[in-house]
């Protein structure tokens, strides 16, 4: 067993810590944007016109068939050629990850809405509510609770996907760890440390969401 020398990690702790900050920021922004767009598109996927449904389904299935790496690289290198606008890597990654994760959220929202029994809608309509009121007040709140575990695993996927942004040199934690590893010639220490950091980011996140879900699950049953 070789010696374990953590001095490179200690020496570059600030460089690595800001990387963790970027990872968290990129994760939160991508997730927030994906939940926003995914909810809108998910509602449109269920209640929209036939054509709209087809277009959204095509988009979702396309994202299910293309690796996120490919989307990231395409947005970063190809979009500037097409549009003449250069985005910094962070923004390219944010856009690419959002496009990819939104597709997952659409599917979750669709399944969540479709899992609500029809009787719930009929009961609300019988009270004299309009369709938008039914969706907003009755369907979405129940669906949101049922969606929680799936949203939790998507959040976990999002955080993991931000590590792939290292291939376009977004200064997030994976990229920073790689840099420190190659400059110090001590990849074992640095990458093992990186495993700890990601585990500490991801494990509590998924556990917290599971915990919240168990507390509120009864509100989503009908």
Partner 1 sequence: MTLDWSIVWLNKEALAEGALMTIVLTVLTMSLAVPLGIVLAFMRLSKWRSLALLSQCFVELFRNIPLILIVYWSFYVIPILIPVQFSAFTTGLVALVLCVSAYNAETFRAGINSVRHGQTNAGLALGMSQLQVMKEIILPQAARRVLPILATTWVSLFKDTSLVSVIAVGELSHVALQIRSQSFRVLEMLTAMAVIYWMMGYPQAKLSDWVRKKFEVKE
Beta carbons within 8 Å of 33's beta carbon, 6+ residues apart: 94, 98, 102
Residue 2 sits in the site that holds partner 1 (CB under 8 A): yes
CB < 8 Å & 24+ apart, contacts of 193-201: 193/6, 193/9, 197/20, 197/173, 198/159, 198/160, 198/163, 198/173, 201/20, 201/23, 201/24, 201/159
Q: How far is the C-alpha of 72 from the C-alpha of 78, rounded, in Å?
A: 10
Residue 87 interacts with partner 1 (CB under 8 A): yes or no: no
Q: Is there binding between residue 93 and partner 1 (CB under 8 A)? A: no
CB of 211 to partner 1, least distance (A): 15
Q: Does 24 bind partner 1 (CB under 8 A)?
A: no
Residue of 35, 46, 148, 174 interacting with partner 1 (CB under 8 A): 174
User: How many other CB atoms sit within 10 Å of the CB of residue 111?
Assistant: 15
| Binder among 138, 159, 168, 209 for partner 1 (CB under 8 A) | 159
CB of 22 to partner 1, least distance (A): 14
Nearer to partner 1, 8 or 140 (CB): 8
119 is a contact residue toward partner 1 (CB under 8 A) = no
Binding segment for partner 1 (CB under 8 A), chosen from 8-16, 115-123, 140-148, 152-160, is: 152-160
Q: Which is nearer to partner 1, 67 or 88 (CB)?
A: 67
The Cα–Cα gap between 73 and 97 comes to 11
Buried b (16+ CB within 10 A) or exposed e, 72-99: bbebbeebeeeeeeeeebbebbbbbbbb
Binding positions for partner 1, rule: CB under 8 A: 1-2, 61-62, 64-71, 73-74, 77-78, 81-82, 156, 159-161, 163-164, 166-167, 174, 177-178, 181, 187-188, 191-192, 194-195, 198-199, 202-203, 206
């Amino acid at each position: 067993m070789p010696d374990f020398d953590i001095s490179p990690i200690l020496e570059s702790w600030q460089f690595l810590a800001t990387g963790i900050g970027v990872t968290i920021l990129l994760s939160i922004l991508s997730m927030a944007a994906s939940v926003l767009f995914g909810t809108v598109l998910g509602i449109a996927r269920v209640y929209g016109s036939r054509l709209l449904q087809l277009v959204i389904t095509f988009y979702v299935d396309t994202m299910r068939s293309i690796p996120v790496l490919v989307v990231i690289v395409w947005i970063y290198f190809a979009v500037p050629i097409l549009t003449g606008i250069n985005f910094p890597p962070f923004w390219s990654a944010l856009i690419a990850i959002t496009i990819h994760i939104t597709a997952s959220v659409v599917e979750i929202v669709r399944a969540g809405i479709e899992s609500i029994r029809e009787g719930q809608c009929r009961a609300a309509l019988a009270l004299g509510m309009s369709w938008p009121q039914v969706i907003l007040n009755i369907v979405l709140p129940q669906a949101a609770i049922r969606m929680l575990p799936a949203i939790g695993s998507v959040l976990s996927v999002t955080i993991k996907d931000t590590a792939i942004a290292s291939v376009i040199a977004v200064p997030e934690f994976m990229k920073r760890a790689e840099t420190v590893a190659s400059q110090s010639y001590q990849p074992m220490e640095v990458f093992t440390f990186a495993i700890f950091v990601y585990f500490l980011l991801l494990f509590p996140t998924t556990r917290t969401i599971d915990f919240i879900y168990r507390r509120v699950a009864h509100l989503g049953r009908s």
